[in-house]
Amino acid sequence: MAEIIASPAALPAALDALGRGECVAIPTETVYGLAADATDGASVARIYQTKRRPRFNPLICHVADMAMARRVAMFDALAETLAAAFWPGALTLVLPLAPGSPVHPLALAGLSTVAVRMPRGFARDLIAAFGRPLAAPSANASGRLSPTSAEAVEADIGDRIGLIVDGGPTELGLESTIVAIENGQARLLRPGGIPVANIEQVAGRRLERDASGAIVAPGMMASHYAPRAMVRLSVGSVAPGEALLGFGPERALGADRAAAFLNLSPTGDLAEAARNLFSHLRALDRPGTGVIAVEPVPDFGLGEAINDRLARAAAPRGE
């Protein structure tokens, strides 16, 4: 079992553990991350080992300020504009690696680009105090739901790590939006906590999307974010025995028959739904639950990222 210490009092213990090359679970505004020194190969290796994550799936490097960001990656004018508008915050930029970048190659999985993000709050304070970038994937076992609370981290990987910093439930509940910038072009790799329309407005252009639906971020396997139960999407009616994940004020037919019911947002608020998505899926995913039926969620704004995660939760399992 991991030690759980509330932030910000956990800062010295977290610094100590990172300095010894350990992984520490930390809160960010999106989801909890499993952080380690991005410049140290043994530390980065421990992240992959702890998550049982495939080594071909690169990590996001988290930075405290623009000076650190520029040592890690090369920023063109568009990248500068997006960073100025959205950092610190839930935007990850995939950029060319800076010459002499301190990030260990293991965190990059052999790519010549690097994913960079400046988080808000405790995570940023920790990186500033540590003085080096932190590699941090979401703090779940590979393929499972991202954790939005210290308890969720503890339940998933608590037996494999020493310290969990408890910052309470995360503010956004969804991972960052990932945008790759290459030769002045911007491409959406993963919808997330910042709606695409907000980014397009600041960028002054549409983000390119991969029309084929092929994996663009190496970690975006179809089956990801998988609860143990099967997931059925956009249901109009509920079969007896199914658990129901609702959205908005109106109920699917047969909702009264559902074995369990949670509502992402009774008023139909997408930000509230994003915050509740992973915690509600976890709560409904109990041993007795065979199927989680999910009511339709509109596909605009944060709804795009919510539907992306739901589609992955419902995808056929590879294992």
Choices 6-14, 69-77, 130-138, 256-264 (CB under 5 A): range interacting with Mg ion: 130-138
Nearest-approach distance from CB 231 to ligand TXA, in angstroms: 19
Q: Which does 136 bind (CB under 5 to 8 A by kind): Mg ion, ligand TXA, none?
A: ligand TXA
Q: Number of residues interacting with Mg ion: please give it, by CB under 5 A.
A: 1
Task: Measure the CA angle with vertex 109, ends 189 and 139; round to 5°.
Answer: 70
Strand 185-190 relative to strand 243-246, pairing: unpaired
Q: Name 135's bridge partners.
A: 36, 61
Torsion of CA 162, 134, 87, 105, to 10 degrees: -140
Q: To the nearest whole angstrom, how small is the minimum distance from the Cβ of residue 259 to Mg ion?
A: 28
For the bound state, the minimum distance from the C-beta of residue 61 to ligand TXA, rounded and expressed in Å, comes to 8
Which of 7, 50, 138, 149 is in the footprint of Mg ion by CB under 5 A?
A: 138
Largest CA distance in the chain: 60
Residue number, 244 or 274, with CB nearest to ligand TXA? 274
Q: Which of 113, 134, 135, 127 is nearest to 65 (CA)?
A: 127
For the bound state, the minimum distance from the C-beta of residue 290 to ligand TXA, rounded and expressed in Å, comes to 27
User: Minimum CB separation from ligand TXA for residue 275, in Å?
Assistant: 14
What SS3 state is found at 95? strand
Q: Which does 133 bind (CB under 5 to 8 A by kind): Mg ion, ligand TXA, none?
A: none
Among the listed residues 45, 53, 54, 4, the one whose alpha carbon sits nearest the alpha carbon of residue 23: 45
Closer of 193 and 246 to ligand TXA (Cβ): 193
Question: Min. distance of Cβ 163 from Mg ion in angstroms?
Answer: 20
Query: Contact 162/146 with Cβ under 8 angstroms?
Result: no
Tell me how far, at minimum, the Cβ of 138 lies from Mg ion, in Å: 3
Residue 189 near which of Mg ion, ligand TXA, none (CB within 5-8 Å, type-dependent) = ligand TXA
Alpha-carbon gap, residue 118 to 139, rounded angstroms: 17
**H/E run at residue 84:** helix 77-86
Residue 50 binding Mg ion, by CB under 5 A: no
CA atoms within 13 A on the CB side of 134: 34
Report the residue closest to ligand TXA, judged by CB.
Answer: 219
Extract the tokens encoding 66: 């623009």
Shortest-Cβ-distance residue relative to Mg ion: 138
Nearer to ligand TXA, 120 or 286 (CB): 120
Angle between helices 77-86 and 196-203 (to 10 degrees): 130
CB 174 within 8 A of CB 303: no
176 binds Mg ion (CB under 5 A): no
Residues that bind ligand TXA (CB under 6 A): 28, 30-31, 33, 57-60, 92, 94, 111, 113-115, 117, 136-138, 175-176, 178, 189, 217-220
> Residues in the site for Mg ion, rule: CB under 5 A?
138
